[in-house]
Amino acid sequence: MKKHNFSAGPSILPQEVLLKASEAVVDYNNSGLSLIEISHRSKDFVDIMENARALVLELLGLEGKGYKALFLQGGASTQFLMVALNLLETRAGYLNSGSWAAKAIKEAKLYDDVYEVGSSKDANYNYIPKGYEIPEDYDYFHCTSNNTIFGTQMKSFPKTNVPMVCDMSSDIFSRTLDFSQFGLIYAGAQKNMGPAGTTLVVVKEDILGKVSRKIPSMMDYQVHIDKGSMYNTPPVFPIYTSMLTLEWLKNKGGIAAIEKENEKKASLMYSEIDLNPLFKGFAVKEDRSFMNATFNLTNDNLKDTFETMLKEAGISGVNGHRSVGGYRASMYNAMPIESVKALVEVMSELESKA
């Protein structure tokens, strides 16, 4: 049985991408060599890297607007550090909307003054803070667009005259936004782009070069820009698979097309959560994520029955994070609506049995 994969990450990828990527591991482009054997300096891989970076800017609508796309290593967690190293001179503002935002704040505090402009920690991050101010003397403002653990998502972004940095690890390429409002975007690949192992950074080049500290070469965005994202040996397979996923998304009609699919999936999921008395959503309704629906059973005595039914239906990866408990349905771009329907059917069937 092909499972319905609701894993929060590493997560589901399009089947056609997996097939093409697996073929390339054995023999890339009829070269007689595996993709993971060829030199990263070869024309074959240079073309992959250039195409992947170009696709990023095209899909985000940032071509010709002074942005550079980079594929780096170290996960989004390394970006917590790199952002501060490259941009933080005196002070910066951070929105504390979840566990990953809190970790970003912790790393940035190693360097200079970092202020929480808003926080939802008081309610275990079940909402997005609002009504905060961003002083104009900040070097930048940092936010997290989607909180995978808690199932919340920023539906709008503040107007500010300072560079806005956004961790989009769990909803990049999932909805239409004016991406030019951000000075820097970063995202781990393992939600909507590819396998774990590479991290996308999209940076407006004119916000760099303003700090007085010396930056180690591997941590310097400008070094990676100057070297075409190949200052050191890049993670070849994750970048290639990300390129295939970006091509898949482009062929579907881009972000606007996938957004419509994501809205349908989320609407179906949340409708069942709200109408079924056996379940209760965790995040406040106005801030619910289209990518990660978090919910709990209202009767813990049904836990074993529900989980047995999930297993029998081939539904995998819906256990909630330990910070929240309960369940989490991650519905990334590659998740077919049929899988969401399968989960909803099990939830509905549980109600009929209770």
Q: Catalytic residue at 167?
A: yes
Q: Cβ neighbours of residue 75 under 8 Å, at least 6 residues apart?
A: 188, 196, 199
Catalytic residue chosen out of the listed positions 139, 171, 191, 248: 191
Answer whether 305's CB lies under 8 Å from 349's CB: no
The string of DSSP letters for 158-189 reads ---SSPEEEE-TTTTTSS---GGG-SEEEEET
Identify the bridge partners of residue 166 per DSSP, sorted by sequence position.
143, 185
Phi, psi for residue 182 in degrees, rounded to 5: -100, 140
Pick the closest to residue 179 from 325, 45, 56 (CA basis): 56
Pick the closest to residue 199 from 71, 84, 332 (CA basis): 71
> Residue 348 and residue 277: Cα distance in Å, rounded?
10
Catalytic residue chosen out of the listed positions 100, 171, 220, 265: 100
Q: How many residues does the chain have?
A: 354
Half-sphere exposure of 327 (CA within 13 A, CB side): 27
Q: How far is CA 280 from CA 4, 27, 323, in A?
A: 22, 49, 16
Q: Catalytic residue at 100?
A: yes
Answer whether 76's CB lies under 8 Å from 199's CB: yes
Provide the phi-psi class of 143: left if phi over 0, else alpha when psi is between -120 and 50, else beta.
beta
The two tokens of residue 34 are 């595996």
Pick the closest to residue 148 from 169, 117, 163 (CA basis): 169
Strand 292-297 with 279-281, pairing: antiparallel
The two tokens of residue 149 are 């653990």
Catalytic residue chosen out of the listed positions 167, 171, 220, 287: 167
Count of C-beta atoms within a 10 Å radius of residue 286? 10
Q: What residues act catalytically? A: 100, 167, 191
